A and B are shown apart, each in its own frame.
Chain A
Amino acid sequence: MTESHDAEQAALRPHAEDAFADELAALAEADDRPRPARWRLSPWAVATYLLGGELPGGKVITPKYVGPRRIIEVAVSTLATDRALLLLGVPGTAKTWVSEHLAAAVSGDSTLLVQGTAGTAEEAIRYGWNYAQLLAQGPSRAALVPSPVMRAMSEGMTARVEELTRIPADVQDTLITILSEKTLPIPELGEEVQAVRGFNLIATANDRDRGVNDLSSALRRRFNTVVLPLPETAEAEVEIVARRVGQLGRSLDLPPAPEGLDEIRRVVTVFRELREGVTDDGRTKLKSPSGTLSTAEAISVVTGGLALAAHFGDGVLRASDVAAGILGAVVRDPASDQVIWQEYLEAVVRERDGWKDFYRACREVSA
């Protein structure tokens, strides 16, 4: 185990159950509450794993998800009632992250994953065939290639489906039988795989994306839906952005920008205000542009600004470095968003103390 663990460490990105193996072990040890069948931890411990906390022995569990406690509690309870869980949210709200950690905590394995794309076929969800075997021996269990979902069913594990709404609608619907009958028929063999207790499924989907295949109501009914919100407070979001930008900047070999925190705060403020349609002080209503303006986008604006400052500026992140990036993120639809942005500039930014440079920079790039 240790050997493979070391090998995993060398991986660019280790799986959750490996990266936090010690926390999971400590939780399992301290956890004396009832566990549903084949769960590694009790629901309470799973929630603690995600939200962080301190165990009686003094072991500190780091928070994996920063956000409302309620969300994680509902998600874990959903899995405990053997209902499938659908995590909804705009891009950059940690849907995949939460789903991975849930699977790791509940089943100890986050790798039973189907990545949804426009080209995802039924085989990816049900099973495929090893054609050499099939031709040589005819249909048999040995020639059958199980999908991650099928494996999860037979072993009582948690399966994950990423970007469920990107999968074509007819393929999506193969999940209906799996989720309602908890069985997967194999007509070729005249058999079926019945899910054993402990099986469940976590799907993620993007609710602001375009060109997706909406879930049929039959399928939708099989899921409990949890919407992951954007960060609640500006401070939390500034934190997230600054930390992430720091990480990204290191990997891109950008010099650190000690002065940049104010600019980050400004970017986050602009994004939050436009997203929420109201200024931070709650005194002025605004129109919201069509873009999502997620935290992830704020991160990329700041990273882009840092690159500008490092390569073409004096290395200090300034208003002019982020202005163009913000404009690009806000004005997605040239007709309506342009007006919204102008209004925002004139009504809010212009009047704000200490934002003169930002106003000027934005006027420059908007002109």
Chain B
Amino acid sequence: MTAVRQEAAGPLLLGVRHHGPGSARAVRAVLEAYEPRCVLIEGPPEGDAVVGLAGDEAMVPPVALLAHAVNEPGRAAFWPLAEFSPEWVAIRWAVERGVPVRFVDLPAAHTLAMSEGEGEPQEEGGKTVPGGTDGGGAAGDTGSGADADGGVPQPGRSEEVRLDPLAALAEAAGYDDPERWWEDAVEHRPGHPTGGGGGAVEAAAEGDAGSGPGRYGAAGGGHGAAPDGPHSDAYGDPYEPFAALGEAMAALRAVHGDGGHHRDLVREAHMRLRLREARKEFGDAGVAVVCGAWHVPALAEAVTVTADRQALKGLPKVKTEVTWVPWTHRRLARQSGYGAGIASPGWYGHLFSAPDRPVERWLVKVAQLLREEDWSVSSAHVIEAVRLAGTLAAMRGRPLAGLTETTDAVRAVLCEGSDVPLELIRDKLVVGDVLGEVPEGAPAVPLQRDLARQQRAVRLKPAAAEREVDLDLRKETDTARSRLLHRLRLLDIGWGEPVRSRTASTGTFRESWRLCWDPELSVRVAEAGVWGTTVEAAATAKARSAATDRTDCTLADITTLAEQCLLANLPDALPVVMRVLADRAALESDVGHLAQALPSLVRTLRYGDVRGTDAGALAAVADGMAERICVGLPPACAGLDDDGARAMRTHLDAAHQAVQLLARDERDMTGDGADAGNGEGTGADGLVRADGAAGADGADGNDGGAANAGDAGNLGSTGAGGVPGGRWRVDAGLLGRWRGVLRTLAERDRIPGLLRGRCARLLLDDGQLTDDEAERLMSLVLSPGTPPGEAANWIEGFLTGGGMLLVHDGRLLALVDRWLTGVPQDAFTDVLPLLRRTFAEFEAGVRRTLGELVRRGAGAGPSSGTDTGDGLPGFGPGLDEQRAEAALETVRLLLGAPDGVGGMPDHRSPYSASRADTSPADTSRAATARNAGHGMEEAATRGAGHGGGQTVGRGAPRGTGRTATRSARDGGREAPPERGPEGEYEGEHGVREVHA
């Protein structure tokens, strides 16, 4: 074959399509025929130092040549090489024979430096070189040659303006896949290597690529082509197609110039210089250049050395290092977002490795895969699929069935028209699970360097000895440390483990870690190098992939992941995780799962706030999730058995808290948060109930000012003046709907008693149920028509979490009492355990008080509410004048009036509460009442005098109250919150454990 070496006229310019298996075979044929003494490859010259490793047994493609700036590992570019890449074939061929290999593209030192200041995050730019654009030769990342695109995002060079020369030619010929066109038109047309190319070029040159005449002409040509498959090496000179292609490209470039690839000119200048050197050293015929076909005309061009040198003058430079990293087929595939440029690496790999009959072999592979998945696929199926693929190809005017035809055939014959198994085939075969390997000797990955740099930056030394550190997240360094540790945890590099703080600190601004650098962690770092070149980029990539690739994880897993992303401050990963989270939540049909996930999500939301992270997306997801719970809860609660109801009650409580927090977040949290929190947190029950009544009052239409003592005052008269100025702007949306759901549940018969009771209680606590309504509901369920067991369950649900309610509302107590005495004897033993469980939860004091009340005959008396105002809910019979006396002075002071104590509570309509949702004015009244309630609670528990004092302290005139609370809240941001929002939540919801 060496006899053909008459082409000594010049170097072998092998224009290829990057990652083209056909090109790869053709390149090998040329190399074997001509045996050049030196091989030049499009790629960064820094790679010359490590190219020897390509011959190592342990090096298994796909791999990528990685160049990165020494001081800034994030600035990096990849040149991936697959088994079927022409460049890889050429490198292997040369290394095996000891032929020198040189990379001739512009040095990465320049390309990386030039990318500076272009805004794009370099690693993205570097890795994502769309293969399409490089087409002929400008293939960026493909190690081949890429070029510019590979490493260097260029300004003002958007995809639209860039020309993909091969795609243009292919489209002109009526092909949708440039690689197919390449195979059909260029490599497998013995005798007419220029035919397809030439015709196509003309069409392209006319500027109407892909239009009618060009398409039909070329397709017709293809039709007539020898259908003897891609493996006919019948033609004599393997170099001939390359020469023809060079001409085609020259024609194309004559029309399109640089096709928008401006930086190519510089790169080509460099290539020419290197080529000239090599020619001097090895002689004209002794040099082979493997580069993108696009560059071939430029290399053949006669340009003076001076001109080329001039072009390269003054390029910016940065110190770079080069190494090999393992790559995967998935990253070669366009779909994965890494965009090295080819959609079907598995198919190309198959084309490259199949000795003959590629279609038949491919379909057999498909059949085997389907059989493994328990699809019944017989040989008869495969035969029919091969026939159909062939017919389709003929009908579409193609000499041989390609991936499109085989896929269509597989769908129609093997998969019975279904796309589901096709997905599997695409994933496993068309893309494939191939993972490359790199020998031990390859230089260290940049991630290691970046980690070391960051460790220095935050002054945390990796040490084998175990130690604990406390981080104060208000300090910048500590925040950075926390971020680093969280990111490493995401990458499975377990340097630090979060531990419970030793100092029993409160609040969310403190974190404690146990640090221990195990030497084995270095290995983990090397493994994590696959994910990226910096800790942040790697963690982002990993988090993204964890969210999207894992299909088996639960909603809660994703929520946790979102939390981690926030902790690790990975803003780029968060949207993806959020997206997945939202999707999962949308498809989640188990309300329980949703209710479980929601609280941690809401928590994350608040935590994100503390850290100043933007959690807007999270809030949207949380809202959506709450919305879904609202919709799904009623059907989910119907027809549950006891255990189911018990489980659902937990979810109900969790969801309730979360919704409250969520709704409150949406409110303008000025002050009322803290105060209401106190009220609810400490008062747990009894008292909050007072707001219920008052809120209802407000809704009834009294339109006095918020401090109108008239209606609020009758309940907690002492506190009536203590308005903190909280704008209780209830979210009529979410919160209102949630309350609507609770109301529905409380009223609906098919719902288990436990849940109904719970809902009634939650509504009552929220001030959404008037006393009368509560009483009605209770008497309904405690009436003789209801089975005692159900009634006991209701009571359990209603009373869980505190019995103060019964202490304060004699009417309810009377109802329970009356019901209990009426339970038939045989049923009594059944309900006894339930009741015992309920009452055992009460505090001892409450139990005792209840006992006393019952003994005093509370059961009979209070509901009548006879003589004076002493039948007021929450007050014992009779007026203790002495104690009232003590508080009177304070009350006067507060009200600034001779007598502020006014009328009676006035529950006119059962609907009043629901109306409270809709009117901000009324609801602000509810806040008033809430505080009033607070005061009253204090009064009830600590004595009137004390309570009054308390209220004075807290309830200054409006304006100041608001300011005071706001400053308290702001203080909470920076200083340990005494009474800021965090403190409030600790008291109320036990958030503290989680955050600590």
List residues of A whose CB falls within 8 A of some B CB. Answer: 43-44, 47, 70, 73-74, 76-78, 80-81, 83, 86, 88, 217, 220-221, 224-227, 277, 284-287, 335, 338-339, 342-343, 346-347
Contact = CB atoms under 8 A, between A and B. Distances in A.
A81 B384 contact: yes
A284 B586 contact: yes
Contacts of B387: 81, 83
B395 A88 contact: no
Contacts of B415: 225
A287 B586 contact: yes
Interface string B377-394: 010110010011001100
Contacts of B380: 221
B391 A285 contact: no
Given A77-B395, A83-B384, A346 B631 contact: yes
Given A74-B392, A77-B395, A83-B388, A346 B412 contact: no
Given A47-B395, A224-B388, A227-B418, 15 more contacts: A74-B388, A74-B409, A77-B388, A81-B387, A83-B387, A83-B388, A224-B412, A225-B417, A226-B412, A227-B417, A284-B586, A287-B589, A339-B632, A343-B628, A347-B628
B583 A285 contact: yes
What are the 5 tightest A-B residue pairs by CB atom distance, in nearest-first order?
A225-B417, A285-B586, A227-B417, A285-B583, A77-B391
B392 A73 contact: yes
Nearest to B634: A339
Interface string B952-973: 0000000000000000000000
Interface string B717-754: 00000000000000000000100000000000000000
A80 B635 contact: no
Contact of A224 (B376, B384, B395): B384
A335 B589 CA distance: 12
Nearest to B392: A77
Interface string B417-447: 1110000000000000000000000000000
B582 interface: yes
Interface size for chain B: under 10, 10 to 19, 20 to 34, or 35 or more residues? 20 to 34
Contacts of A70: 408
A16 to B, nearest CB: 21
Nearest to B589: A287
Contact of A287 (B411, B419, B587, B630): B587
Question: Among the interface residues B378, B396, B586, B587, which one has the most CB atoms of the partner chain A within 10 A?
Answer: B586
B391 A81 contact: yes
B585 to A, nearest CB: 8
Contacts of A81: 384, 387-388, 391
B363 interface: no
B631 A339 contact: yes
Contacts of A43: 391, 395
A73 B628 contact: no
A267 to B, nearest CB: 22
A73 B401 CA distance: 14
Contacts of A347: 586, 624, 627-628
A346 B392 contact: no
12 contacts: A73-B392, A74-B408, A74-B411, A81-B391, A83-B384, A83-B413, A88-B416, A221-B378, A224-B412, A285-B582, A338-B635, A339-B631
Interface string B672-699: 0000000000000000000000000000
Given A80-B395, A226-B412, A226-B417, A286 B378 contact: no
Contacts of A88: 416-417
B835 to A, nearest CB: 35
Nearest to A224: B412
Given A285-B582, A287-B586, A347-B627, A78 B395 contact: no
B635 A339 contact: yes
Given A221-B381, A347-B624, A284 B582 contact: yes
B631 A217 contact: no
B587 A285 contact: yes
A286 B396 contact: no
A277 B589 CA distance: 14
Contacts of B378: 221
Nearest to B733: A350
A221 B635 CA distance: 44
Nearest to A86: B417
Nearest to B385: A224
A227 B413 CA distance: 12
Given A83-B384, A284-B586, A339-B635, A224 B628 contact: no
Contacts of A74: 388, 392, 408-409, 411-412
B734 to A, nearest CB: 10
A80 B387 CA distance: 10
Contacts of B419: 227
A28 to B, nearest CB: 18
A346 B586 contact: no
A157 B686 CA distance: 86
A342 B381 CA distance: 45
B689 to A, nearest CB: 30
Contacts of B635: 335, 338-339
A342 B631 contact: yes
A286 B585 CA distance: 9
Contacts of A346: 627, 630-631, 737
A335 B388 CA distance: 45
Contacts of B628: 343, 347
Interface in B616-633: 624, 627-628, 630-632
A282 to B, nearest CB: 10
Interface string B889-922: 0000000000000000000000000000000000
A88 B417 CA distance: 8
A341 to B, nearest CB: 9
A343 B626 CA distance: 11
A96 to B, nearest CB: 17
A20 to B, nearest CB: 21
A217 B375 CA distance: 11
Nearest to B583: A285
A224 B624 CA distance: 44
A293 B28 CA distance: 56
Contacts of A76: 395
B587 A78 contact: no
A343 B408 contact: no
A286 B628 CA distance: 11
B586 A73 contact: no
Contacts of A80: 391, 395
A80 B737 CA distance: 61
A74 B631 CA distance: 45
A74, A77, A226, A227 pick with most chain B CB within 10 angstroms: A77
A286 B582 CA distance: 10
Nearest to B381: A221
Contact of B412 (A47, A78, A221, A285): A78
Which residue among A44, A220, A224, A277 has the maximum number of chain B CB atoms within 10 Å of its CB? Answer: A224
Nearest to B413: A224
Given A78-B388, A224-B388, A285-B587, A343 B412 contact: no
Contacts of A225: 412-413, 415-417
Contact of B396 (A73, A86, A285): A73
Nearest to B408: A74
A36 to B, nearest CB: 10
- Chain A CB count within 10 A is highest, among B387, B415, B416, B419, for B416
B323 to A, nearest CB: 39
A251 B221 CA distance: 51
A224 B389 CA distance: 12
A73 B582 CA distance: 39
A339 B586 CA distance: 12
A144 to B, nearest CB: 32
A285 B413 CA distance: 32
A16 B737 CA distance: 56
A214 to B, nearest CB: 11
Nearest to A220: B416
Contacts of A77: 388, 391-392, 395
A343 B417 contact: no
